Amino acid sequence: MHRRSPQRLLSLFLAVTGGIALWAAFPDLGWWPGAFVAVALLWWALREDHAWWNALHGLAFGLTFFLPHVRWAINATEIAPWIAMSCVEALFFALFGALWTWARRAVRATPGGRGLRRGGVVWQAVAFAVVFTAVEQWRSEVPFGGFPWGRLAWAMVDAPVGRAAWLGGTVLVTFAVCLAGVGLAAATRAVVARPRAAASYGRAAAAVAAAAAIVVVPVTLPLPASSEAGTVTDDDGALVRDAGSDLAEDGVLWAGAVQGNVDDPDLGVFAQRPELFGNHLEGTYELAEDFAGELDIVLWPEDSTGVDPRTSAAASAALDAAAVAVDAPILVGTQEYPADGGRYNLSLLWQAGQGATERYAKQRPAPFGEYIPLRPLVRLLSDQVDRVTTDMLPGDEPAVMDVPAGGGGDDVRIATIICFEVAYDEIVRDAVRRGAQVLVVPTNNAAFGWTEESTQQLAMTRMQAITTGRAAVQVSTVGVSGIVAPDGTLVTSTGLFTHDTLAAALPLRHTITPAVAAGYWPGWVAGVVAGLLVVAGVVVRVSARVHRGRASPPGPGRDATRERGALVG
């Protein structure tokens, strides 16, 4: 056995254990401290000064995390696409392992040249966090528009450090989690390296204190916290969810939300579209019984009509009747099939007697779920691609709509972020910068069965509420739906595969948070700094080899030196 084999097996074990810990940090288990443990274990797993070995350990970490994290993909397709998606996402962790190998060499070449032994652990922690955050950002953008699922920040919505999203968005939260995780690893290293030295425990205590400060300090940020958020009753005894009306800057939007559900969860929504439409109509009439004339809008989920009401006289008449009964416009989800091919995933604002007065088309269709890139090639891997018979087209308009205000006041601008788009920071930020005063996330989770996909999505909705300082509503066909206060507090949520209705008072806000004002800059900065660190690491490595080559005597000794350098390169 190679003399380094035991160490590499240990690193592989740490990587696998770290992936499991990270999975446990996300819903439904939701043990958010697991994310810090995962980062610490990943730090230890990537101890090799060899890019290929670190890439392998990163890949093991990524696979162990993603395979269970996105197991809901099996419900929507089959095993092969689930494995393929997990492998593609895990490759970014492999990329991180390789890039970190090079970036670490740059940090070790600090003045004094002794790296960890002269306080270099602080700079290594910063570099590690920067490179990890940058790779996570890249994973959220490529390929095919990226897949932001599984960002460290999404696991932090109930953690104190999650409040940092108000200041710097998901980029800052991920960066902070990495710093704290490496602090935990440094504390462990100090004790393990010299277990009998009193100074080791002092260094460990300092590292733990620094990590704890990173986690806790964000509670001091001035997020808009409500003292009134919760469930209240109106004068008639009907339940209303107050999402923080005391935080309103521009009044309150009174919204109803309908989770229509399907009659047979095993069949899914697409096989039950007429029933789904009927169930949402029924829920609207239920809201009308308690709140007729009191609501500004009724929210339906993504693809909740099953037919485009603009082309179906029966659907149009049914929506008109429901809108008259509740005396409010209805936000409905449907599909549009243009004459030149393809389809759009739409949210329409339906007003009685006027039809669709506002239209938003989803900007980021899900690759391999709503459209199939490279279809002939992908079909060789799985015939599941043929389940998507018509590719979805991307919309080109921002995710905002203007809702007529009751009493003749100013219109209310809402963000209409369809389903997976809630994971894309730039879509949410753009809507808020264009004046959105509240976030609405219509989604259709029926294809994912009894998995945690919808609760993972609800965590993202809550994090976007923190980032933007806006109240939010996630409304699903089958659950989980929820009402969220501007500081991310979950006011109420529904169960999976249940018929339910919600009425909510949503505070309208126009204040722009620092995270929204910063826009894409945090992501750009992380990417540029990570790139510079990697380039600097390459330069350090090449310079060291050149120096060794000049210092080595000619002959066999020089050849041996080259061989040793190749082993760690």
Catalytic residues: 302, 362, 419
In angstroms, rounded to a whole number, what is the distance separating the alpha carbons of residues 230 and 232?
A: 7
The residues near 211 (Cβ < 8 Å, ≥ 6 apart) are 36, 179, 180, 181, 183, 184, 187
Assign 538 to helix, strand or coil. helix
N- to C-terminal Cα separation, the chain: 21
Residue 249 CA to its chain's centroid (Å): 28
Cis peptide before 303 (omega within 30 of 0): no
- In degrees to the nearest 10, what's the CA dihedral of 550, 554, 560, 566? 40
* Strands, E assignment, 265-389: 297-299, 330-336, 344-351, 355-361
Assign 437 to helix, strand or coil. coil
In contact, 471 and 506? CB cutoff 8 Å: yes
In angstroms, rounded to a whole number, what is the distance separating the alpha carbons of residues 4 and 207?
A: 29
Nearest in space to 428 (alpha carbons), one of 386, 473, 461, 387: 461
- In degrees to the nearest 10, what's the CA dihedral of 238, 259, 67, 423? -80
In contact, 276 and 264? CB cutoff 8 Å: no
In angstroms, rounded to a whole number, what is the distance separating the alpha carbons of residues 376 and 198?
A: 64
Residue 31 CA to its chain's centroid (Å): 17
295: left (phi over 0), alpha (psi -120 to 50) or beta: beta
Indicate the angle between helix axes 120-139 and 521-551, nearest 10 degrees. 120
DSSP for 162-201?
Answer: GGGHHHHHHHHHHHHHHHHHHHHHHHHHHHHHSTT-HHHH
Nearest in space to 346 (alpha carbons), one of 357, 333, 363: 333
| Integer CA distances (angstroms), 345 to 56, 204, 319, 333, 413, in order | 39, 53, 19, 8, 20
